[in-house]
């Protein structure tokens, strides 16, 4: 793992703090985001980039985004593109990024499109690329970049790490009067102060893990990431909190350490789920696949963590394994869906329109989406997932209790509220016959 070359790398920081359209509220914190990130990346003790390798594009107009294309083509080692500002939606429902001259009701024009952003990345000769988006619903941009979606339709941008401040359902947060937006403020503080016991350099993997922990602790939206090849192992800055790292004995395989993180009851639930994700990525070996299935059936683990294990097992080990694991839950005998129906529901989560059409007959969705409360949206989605897995009422309420015990009372209440929004079992009766 190494830092980007100081002169052969390019960091492009784009932000829209002010708008000609009065309907788009000014975001003065964005200007501070760009200035302070530039200071971090050019600090010899942190990012170490040459000043001419770091470019700040504040309040540019849509026609000036060609500068991003030109700068991206100069990058030979690391290319990092960052954007902060408002998101808008075109008449086709695609996300785009508002520039200084964007008109909110004419979002097909004078915007920075996802296609233009993708072109900047794919046409760059950079060895590895990092894309960071701090805007509302920014996970949608990752999907439209072609870096997410069903495997058979996936168009990966090879060697690219993408980090979004909010899910496709959640707005980003810009606290009034704060120096930075919430996501970028935590990112800047993390890069400046470092992470104890994380080695001399901060990789994107470490940055995401610690950033996710910081944001969840404050009740802020959880960031989203996606990486291809070894992009997550790229180091962005030196670690100011580095301490001597004790070498891991060679006889302890990586997957065993990962499994231990998933089993650790003192760890954050999000961190344990991330460990399951890592374990699933290694599940090609028989002993690792066995570890994943054992976790899924471990009754000591929180129900939401076990469900995550089964989901991952279904993806990497196949439906036959997932079908067996599904029977390890306490399930409602009147539902008991087959794995095919569960998998169909999970696929719906990647398509908002299809999800809404399929679930709204059985669930009170509109009041939750209208509340604009991320916790309530999360609670509804988790409640739907518990129903999709066919869990009994006792097991569903056990999941609520486990969240409260884990120190997540807001999420526990949101899940309980979500469960109360279930009106019928129409979805299961359709899904079980598929």
Question: pLDDT tens digits for 61-93?
Answer: 988 889 999 999 999 999 999 999 998 998 888
Considering the chain, tell me which residue range(s) the CATH 3.40.50.1460 domain(s) occupy.
10-238
Q: What is the pLDDT of residue 100?
A: 93
Strand partners, 224: 164
Which one is predicted more confidently, 430 or 80? 80
Q: What is the pLDDT of residue 217?
A: 86
Cβ neighbours of residue 370 closer than 8 Å, sequence gap 6 or more: none
Least confident of 202-211, 238-247, 386-395: 238-247
On the question of pLDDT at 181 being above 60, the answer is: yes
d(CA 65, CA 52): 18
Q: What is the pLDDT of residue 216?
A: 85
Query: 156: buried, middle or exposed (CB in 10 Å: 19+, 13-18, 0-12)?
Result: middle
Question: pLDDT tens digits for 23-32?
Answer: 999 999 999 9
Closest CA to 262 of 246, 282, 244, 243: 282
Highest mean pLDDT among 161-165, 196-200, 361-365 belongs to 361-365
Question: pLDDT tens digits for 331-390?
Answer: 888 877 889 999 999 888 888 889 999 998 989 999 988 887 888 888 999 999 999 999
| Mean pLDDT (the chain, rounded) | 84
Question: pLDDT tens digits for 226-236?
Answer: 765 445 567 88
The residue behind tokens 């939750």 is 368
Which helix (H) or strand (E) segment holds residue 336: the answer is none
Q: What is the pLDDT of residue 154?
A: 33
On the question of pLDDT at 430 being above 50, the answer is: no
Q: What is the pLDDT of residue 244?
A: 59
Q: What is the pLDDT of residue 149?
A: 37
Question: pLDDT tens digits for 240-263?
Answer: 988 655 555 556 788 888 899 899
On the question of pLDDT at 153 being above 50, the answer is: no
Q: What is the pLDDT of residue 228?
A: 52
d(CA 172, CA 9): 28
On the question of pLDDT at 403 being above 70, the answer is: yes
DSSP codes of every residue in 187-247: HHHHHHH--TTS-SEEEHHHHHHHHHHHHHHTTPPPPEEEE-TTGGG-EEEE-TT--PPPP
Q: What is the pLDDT of residue 375?
A: 84
Average pLDDT over residues 16-38: 93
On the question of pLDDT at 146 being above 70, the answer is: no
d(CA 118, CA 69): 10
Q: What is the pLDDT of residue 168?
A: 58
β-strands 78-84, 10-15: how paired?
A: parallel
d(CA 294, CA 296): 5
Structure-token pair, residue 417: 């509220």
Percent of the chain with pLDDT over 90: 36
On the question of pLDDT at 193 being above 80, the answer is: yes
On the question of pLDDT at 410 being above 70, the answer is: yes
What CATH number matches the domain at 10-238, 3.40.190.170, 3.40.50.720, 3.40.50.1460, 3.40.190.10? 3.40.50.1460
Q: What is the pLDDT of residue 227?
A: 64
pTM recorded for the entire structure:
0.55
């Amino acid at each position: 793992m190494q830092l980007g070359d100081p002169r052969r790398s390019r960091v492009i920081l784009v932000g829209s703090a002010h708008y000609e359209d009065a309907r788009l509220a000014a975001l003065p914190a964005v200007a501070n985001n760009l200035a302070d990130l530039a200071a971090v990346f050019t600090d010899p003790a942190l990012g170490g980039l040459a000043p001419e390798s770091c470019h700040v594009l504040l309040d540019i107009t849509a026609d000036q985004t060609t500068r991003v294309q030109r700068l991206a083509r100069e990058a030979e080692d690391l290319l990092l593109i960052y954007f902060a500002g408002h998101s808008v939606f075109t008449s086709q429902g695609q996300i785009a990024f508002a520039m200084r001259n964007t008109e909110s009701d004419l979002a097909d024009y004078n915007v920075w499109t996802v296609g233009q952003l993708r072109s900047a990345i794919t046409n760059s000769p950079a060895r590895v690329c990092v894309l960071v988006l701090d805007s509302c619903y920014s996970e949608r941009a990752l999907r439209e970049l072609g870096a997410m979606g069903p495997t058979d339709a996936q168009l990966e941008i090879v060697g690219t790490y993408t980090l979004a401040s909010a899910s496709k359902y959640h707005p980003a947060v810009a606290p009034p009067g704060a120096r930075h937006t919430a996501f970028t403020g935590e990112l800047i503080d993390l890069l400046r102060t470092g992470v104890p016991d994380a080695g001399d350099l901060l990789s994107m993997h470490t940055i995401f893990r610690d950033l996710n922990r910081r944001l969840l602790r404050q009740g802020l939206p959880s960031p989203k990431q996606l990486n291809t090849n070894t992009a997550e192992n790229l180091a962005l800055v030196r670690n100011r909190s580095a301490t001597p790292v004790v070498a891991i004995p060679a006889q302890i395989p990586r997957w065993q350490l990962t499994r231990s993180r998933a089993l650790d009851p003192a760890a954050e639930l999000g961190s344990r789920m991330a460990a399951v994700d890592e374990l699933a990525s290694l599940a090609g070996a028989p002993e690792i696949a066995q570890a994943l299935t054992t976790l899924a059936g471990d009754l000591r683990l929180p129900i939401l963590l076990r469900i995550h294990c089964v989901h991952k097992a279904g993806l990497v080990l196949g439906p036959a394994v997932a079908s067996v694991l599904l029977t390890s839950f306490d399930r409602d005998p009147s539902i008991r869906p087959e794995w095919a129906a569960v998998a169909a529901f999970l696929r719906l989560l990647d398509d908002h329109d299809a999800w809404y059409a399929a679930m709204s007959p059985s669930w009170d969705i509109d009041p939750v989406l209208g509340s604009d409360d991320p916790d309530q949206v999360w609670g509804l989605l988790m409640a739907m997932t518990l129903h999709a897995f066919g869990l009994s009422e006792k097991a569903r309420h056990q999941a609520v209790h486990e969240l409260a015990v884990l120190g997540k009372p807001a999420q526990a209440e949101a899940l309980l509220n979500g469960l109360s929004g279930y009106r019928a079992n129409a979805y299961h009766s359709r899904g079980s016959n598929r």
